[in-house]
């Protein structure tokens, strides 16, 4: 389990089925070590988060007013609400508590018991 496995948007790559099947590298893995090139990233949220060296968008002081992340959360689909829930949880409780809970999930989001 690594904080690098938390996506900028709040998805938890550590339990993501697609990543486990090696069909995805994860949101942030490889950029800090330069094995992946940030100039090729199309996701504005990821570029912003990585350039500011945040662990996720939860670290940003403009999180609530940011058009990029809030626009992402407005997309249709259950997962976007769950990703917002994850970042809100991180802001309120910290990464350590989040990872303890998230490591038990079966996919990139889950419940907070």
As for how many domains the chain has, the answer is: 1
Q: CA-CA distance, 34 to 21, in Å (whole number)? A: 23
**Whether the model pTM is above 0.95:** no
* pLDDT tens-place string over residues 29-88: 888 888 999 899 889 999 999 999 999 999 999 999 999 999 999 999 999 999 999 999
* pLDDT tens-place string over residues 25-34: 888 888 888 8
The residue behind tokens 């989001």 is: 109
Q: 90: exposed, middle or buried (C-beta count within 10 Å: 0-12, 13-18, 19+)?
A: buried
Domain interval for residue 18: 3-102
Query: Is 111 part of a structural domain of the chain?
Result: no
Query: Is 110 part of a structural domain of the chain?
Result: no
**pLDDT for residue 94:** 96
Residue 2 pLDDT grade (very low, low, confident, very high; cuts 50, 70, 90): confident
Query: Is 16 part of a structural domain of the chain?
Result: yes
Instruction: Say how many CA atoms lie within 13 Å of 67 toward its Cβ.
Output: 0
Question: Alpha helices, DSSP H only, in the chain?
Answer: 17-20, 44-51, 67-73, 78-93, 95-102
């Amino acid at each position: 389990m690594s904080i690098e496995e938390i996506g900028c948007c709040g998805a938890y790559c550590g339990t993501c089925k697609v990543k486990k099947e090696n069909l995805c590298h994860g949101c942030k893995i490889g950029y800090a070590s330069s094995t992946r090139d940030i100039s090729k990233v199309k996701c504005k949220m990821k570029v912003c988060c990585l350039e500011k060296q945040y662990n996720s968008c939860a670290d940003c002081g403009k999180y609530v007013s940011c058009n990029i992340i809030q626009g992402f959360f407005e997309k249709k689909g259950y997962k976007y609400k769950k990703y917002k829930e994850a970042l809100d949880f991180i802001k309120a409780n910290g990464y350590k508590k989040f990872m303890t809970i998230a490591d038990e999930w079966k996919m990139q989001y889950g419940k907070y018991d």
